[in-house]
Amino acid sequence: MSGLFGVVSKEESCTPTLFYGTDYHSHLGTEYGGLAVSGDGLRHKIHDISQSQFKSKFFEDIGRMAGRMGIGAISDADEQPLFTRSRFGEFYIVTAGLIENKEALTQELLSRGLSFSEPSKNGINTTEIIAKLITLGDDLIQGIEKMFEKINGSCSLLILSKEGVYAARDRRGYTPLVLGKNDGMWAVTSETCAFTNLGFSPVKFLRPGEIILLNEKEGLVSRTPGLPDNQICTFLWIYTGFPASSYENIGVETVRERCGRALARQDKDIDIDVVSGVPDSGVGHAIGYAMESKRPYRRPLVKYTPGYGRSYTPPSQETRDLVAKMKLIPIRSIIENNRLVVCEDSIVRGTQLKNFAVKKLWDCGAKEVHVRPACPPLMFPCRFCLSTRTTAELAARRAVRALEGRDVEDVAGYCDATTEKYKKMVEWIARDLEVTSLRYLTLHDMVAAVGLPKERLCTYCWTGEHPGAKNPPKEDTQQTKNPVRTDRP
Ligand code: SF4
């Protein structure tokens, strides 16, 4: 994952706004932060933020980076912004997305005589591939459009050049970009939560494939109008987005509350004492559950916030497990002798939930633990915007393998919540998690909670259906897309 922020100021330096605006994307990445500013020439700075927060790393740099236009990124994978000197000028670029045919594109560019120079822990830096593809166009706009045609997956980007800040939203719209304005500035962001405290009002959610230019003189210049059809990532509302953000004008926290209400409506047959959520992303769902069920929302597990990020984002499983283990502290007086509902955004592998949440609840004397994920079972790793795990790692796929005695490719029966297969799969996962009961939100209720037509939402990781993708899904049962890194400085 990556989060992007760009800003153009009419009069004053943009760097304080750029600093805070980029920092508000810290929930989307734990590895690198980077800023680039156009003032007396183009300047940039990148820091490894895996061991300390973006703010502390950039606090001193920002005083040395005056300029009226800038872009920034926080990411999980590669260092950015990257600089390119092309035949249509110099620019910095930041990207967010996932390129499935990265290896093929790398080979194609190498065979055309291009070279790669950026260091990357994951082979070739994805943003460098994007930059090289763009420079093959006749100009920046045509280069971006040609790049969109070449990639499988998704890519939203910001480019800082002498002309201003270009923003281009991924052509299928999996990842969002939002334009905002305040008295003296224009800004573009992945997350609208970056706007509120900086005084920006959202002006428009960019359309898929739309390209705009922001500059000091003209403000907003539309370059290409974009496409009407959209496949925005549903997981933004369920898990990855910040509660104070909204996408397509639909608030994250509101959707989470609706998911929680729908979960509670499925649960007329159980009696409980306490409603809770696994912090942080399970909390909104749990509040919705509590409102609907009229049972008290309490916090049997609290997150020790200072210094602990999301347990999903670090690239190594070891680090993810360590964060998951250390950050949640149980409160025995709320847990002991109580029947608990625990809302969770989703279950990926299930091991963190089992070992670092459910086990803590049992150890503190819980009487019953009912787990309620706010989406259906994850059946396919994301192909479009998240660096997710392999198919084989997913809890639902482990259940299918155990039930079938082998890997099966056609899992349609397990995706349908009305089938016996689905029921057996959920029972298997519940046993594996060692919980009293497990009940997932249905696809229908999740889509209804978001409120957009189903065809405008990507639901691939639950259904395997991918109307916008170029190629059929590849079964990735052997290799992890996000390998464990041991070379962190
Ligand atoms: S596959 Fe899942 S995580 Fe990826 S874009 Fe689609 S809904 Fe989002």
Average confidence (pLDDT) over 64-86: 93
Ligand 1: centre distance to CA 319 (Å): 23
pLDDT at position 478, please?
A: 34
- Three-state SS for the chain is CEEEEEEEECCCCCHHHHHHHHHCCHHHCCCEEEEEEEECEEEEEEEECCCCCHHHHHCCHHHHCCCCEEEEEEECCCCCCEEEEECCEEEEEEEEEEECCHHHHHHHHHHCCCCCCCCCCCCCCHHHHHHHHHHCCCCHHHHHHHHHHHCCEEEEEEEEECCEEEEECCCCCCCCCEEEECCCEEEEECCCHHHHCCCCEEEEECCCCCEEEEECCCEEEEEECCCCCCCEECHHHHHHCCCCCEECCEEHHHHHHHHHHHHHHCCCCCCCCEEEECCCHHHHHHHHHHHHHCCCECCCEEECCCCCCCCCCCCCHHHHHHHHHHHEEECHHHHCCCEEEEEECCCCCCHHHHHHHHHHHHHCCCCEEEEEECCCCCCCCCCCCCCCCCHHHCHHHHHHHHHHCCCCCCCHHHHCCCCHHHHHHHHHHHHHHCCCEECCCCHHHHHHHHCCCHHHEECHHHHCCCCCCCCCCCCCCCCCCCCCCCCCC
For residue 77, the CA-to-ligand 1 centroid distance in Å is 17
Spacing, Cα 246 to ligand 1 middle (Å): 17
pLDDT digits (tens, 9 = 90+) for 319-330: 777 777 788 999
| pLDDT tens figures, 380-419 | 999 887 766 688 889 999 999 999 999 888 999 999 999 9
**Alpha carbons 368 and 358: distance in angstroms, whole number:** 10
Note the pLDDT tens digit of each residue in 87-140.
989 999 999 999 989 999 999 999 999 888 887 777 889 999 999 999 999 999
The atom of ligand 1 lying closest to the CA of 388 is 3
Of 172, 255, 383, 385, the one to substitute when testing ligand 1's pocket (max ligand atoms within 8 A of C-beta) is 385
How do residues 373-391 score in pLDDT, each as one tens digit?
A: 999 999 999 988 776 668 8
Q: How far is the CA of 3 from the centre of ligand 1 (A)?
A: 16
Ligand 1: residue whose CA is nearest its atom 2: 461
Nearest-CA residue for ligand 1 atom 1 is: 382
Question: Comparing C-alpha atoms, which of 5, 71, 62 is closest to residue 38?
Answer: 71
Tokens representing 49 are 């933020």
**Cβ-count burial of 307 within 10 angstroms (0-12 exposed, 13-18 middle, 19+ buried)?**
exposed
**Which residues are near ligand 1 (CB < 6 Å)?**
174, 233-235, 382, 384-386, 458-461
Torsion of the alpha carbons at 241, 272, 364 and 325, rounded to the nearest 10: -20
**Which residue puts its alpha carbon closest to atom 8 of ligand 1?**
233
Q: Are 348 and 388 in contact (CB under 8 A)?
A: yes
Q: Which atom of ligand 1 is nearest to the CA of 154?
A: 5
Mention every residue, 6+ apart, whose C-beta is less than 8 A from residue 294: none
CA-based nearest residue to 38, from 128, 144, 163: 163
The closest residue, in CA terms, to atom 5 on ligand 1 is 233
> Which two three-digit tokens encode residue 170?
């991924």
* Amino acid at site 395: A
Q: Quick one: average pLDDT of 41-52?
A: 87
Atom of ligand 1 nearest to the CA of 236: 8
Q: Residue 337: exposed, middle, or buried by beta-carbon count in 10 A (0-12, 13-18, 19+)?
A: exposed
CA 86–ligand 1 middle distance (angstroms) = 33
- CA pair distance 489, 195, nearest whole angstrom: 33
Q: Which of 1, 237, 386 to mutate to test the pocket of ligand 1 (most atoms within 8 A of CB)?
A: 386
**Can you tell me which residue has the tokens 């464990």?**
484
**Residue 383 CA, ligand 1 centroid: distance in Å:** 7
Q: Which residue has the tokens 């909104």?
A: 284
In total, the chain counts a number of residues equal to 489
CA 107 to ligand 1 center in whole angstroms = 27
pLDDT digits (tens, 9 = 90+) for 152-206: 989 999 999 999 999 999 999 999 999 999 999 999 999 999 999 999 999 999 9
- CA-240 nearest atom, ligand 1: 3
Q: pLDDT-derived band of residue 486, with 50, 70 and 90 as boundaries?
A: very low
Q: Give the pLDDT mean for 229-251.
A: 94
Ligand 1 centroid–CA 149 distance in Å is: 20
pLDDT of residue 473: 43
Q: Beta partners for 41?
A: 39
Shortest CA distance to 11 belongs to which of 158, 236, 216, 154? 216
Question: Is 110 within 8 Å of 102 (Cβ atoms)?
Answer: no
**473 φ/ψ angles, rounded to the nearest 5 degrees:** -65, 145
Which tokens is 171 given? Answer: 């052509």
pLDDT attached to residue 111: 94
Question: Hey, which of 169, 234, 455, 456 would you mutate to test ligand 1's pocket, going by the most ligand atoms within 8 Å of its Cβ?
Answer: 234
Between the CA of 2 and the centroid of ligand 1 the distance, in Å, is 14
**In whole angstroms, what is the distance from residue 263 CA to residue 343 CA?**
9
Q: CA 298, CA 113: separation in Å to the nearest integer?
A: 61
What residue's CA is closest to ligand 1, atom 4? 382
pLDDT at 469: 59
Please choose from 232, 461, 462, 476 the residue to mutate so as to test ligand 1's pocket, defined by most ligand atoms within 8 A of CB: 461
Pocket test for ligand 1, best of 458, 459, 482 (most atoms within 8 A of CB): 458
Instruction: Kindly give the distance from the C-alpha atom of residue 99 to the centroid of ligand 1, in angstroms, as a whole number.
Output: 13
| Span from the CA of 458 to the centroid of ligand 1 (angstroms) | 6
CA end-to-end span of the chain, whole Å?
Answer: 21
